[in-house]
Amino acid sequence: MLRNLLLAPALRPFLLIVMLLVLWDVVIRLFRIPPYLIPTPLDVVKMLIAEWPRLLFEGWKTTLATLGGFGLTIVFGIPVAMVIAYSRVVESFVYPLLVFSQSIPKVAIAPLFVVWFGFGIFPKVISAFLLGFFPVVVSTVMGFKSVEPDMLDLARSMGASRLQTFFKISLPQALPAIFSGLKVSVTLAVVGAVVGEFVGSNSGIGYVLQVANGNFDLPLMFAALVVLSSIGVILFMVVDLVERLMIPWHASQRHVQ
């Protein structure tokens, strides 16, 4: 009974985290790693408790910037991908530019956002948008191009309009690929928001990381990283939940024991 409870799918991630924390503590004690190199898990937990109000406040700022960039990714990324998927001319012009834009390090151009848009949340939103945009476009294009031609021919032969064909066949078959891109995008949006906070901000988890790094406060740095990772995991789970609700029929939603 206890074995089945411990190996329940919902508890497996927590069990792995506990095992990693124990391993972390054992390695520090075994090799006598000094605290100025790696803090112990207990020190990180104490810092999380002590600085929780601050970390929660700064984490909310990072979450807002992430959601703003992710929202822009959905609003602009999916329509752009649809145009690319249905027009070879647009694809030949736009797609190479999108690939080229990904070779530019976002850390290198993030200072320009501060110059153009000033300090505040907007540069962080733009940075989150740029990191999350490309995965959504690529996945969405692949999703619409992967629609079975036989299904489209069948819909036309039955007199379905182009709008009906899109909503009844093309969009449902493309949704799994779209959500795959959204899952990657939302985690990259968190990274983008932090990059924006590194460059020019006095708030957010990225700012906390900079302050902790400058003061060599490793417990605070690790605590901030825990909060940052939690933000990414929670947002990923939200997107995954929306996917389960929208496409429960897809093979990816089958539970694997």
- pLDDT given at position 6: 55
Mean pLDDT is highest, among 60-69, 81-90, 126-135, for 60-69
Indicate the pLDDT class of residue 1, thresholds 50, 70 and 90. low
SS3 8: coil
Residue at 4: amino acid letter: N
| Residue 7 scores a pLDDT above 70 | no
Please count the other Cβ atoms lying within 10 Å of the Cβ belonging to residue 85: 21
User: DSSP assignment of 158-201, as one string?
Assistant: TT--HHHHIIIIIHHHHHHHHHHHHHHHHHHHHHHHHHHHHHS-
| Residue 138 scores a pLDDT above 80 | yes
- pLDDT given at position 256: 44
- pLDDT given at position 190: 93
Element at 227 (helix H, strand E): helix 218-246
| Residue 137 scores a pLDDT above 80 | yes
CB 128 within 8 A of CB 214: no
CB 145 within 8 A of CB 85: yes
Supply the Cα-derived Rg of the chain in whole angstroms: 22
Q: How far apart are CA 20 and CA 18, in angstroms?
A: 5
- pLDDT given at position 180: 92
Of 12-16, 94-98, 106-110, minimum mean pLDDT range: 106-110
- pLDDT given at position 216: 86
Exposed/middle/buried for residue 91 (C-beta within 10 Å: 0-12, 13-18, 19+): middle
Indicate the pLDDT class of residue 29, thresholds 50, 70 and 90. confident
- pLDDT given at position 151: 80
- Average pLDDT in the 50-60 region? 92
Residue 34 exposure: Cα atoms within 13 Å on the Cβ side? 2
> 95 versus 205: which is more confidently predicted?
205
Element at 147 (helix H, strand E): none
- pLDDT given at position 5: 53
Task: Write out the E strands in the chain.
Answer: none
> 249 versus 27: which is more confidently predicted?
27
Q: How far apart are CA 204 and CA 201, in angstroms?
A: 8
Q: pTM score, two decimals?
A: 0.86
Per-residue pLDDT reduced to its tens digit, 31-45: 888 888 888 899 999
- pLDDT given at position 257: 46
Residue at 56: amino acid letter: L
Per-residue pLDDT reduced to its tens digit, 205-231: 988 998 888 888 899 999 999 999 999
| Residue 98 scores a pLDDT above 90 | no
> 117 versus 63: which is more confidently predicted?
63
- pLDDT given at position 10: 66
CB 144 within 8 A of CB 78: no
> 43 versus 162: which is more confidently predicted?
43
Q: How far apart are CA 15 and CA 177, in angstroms?
A: 30
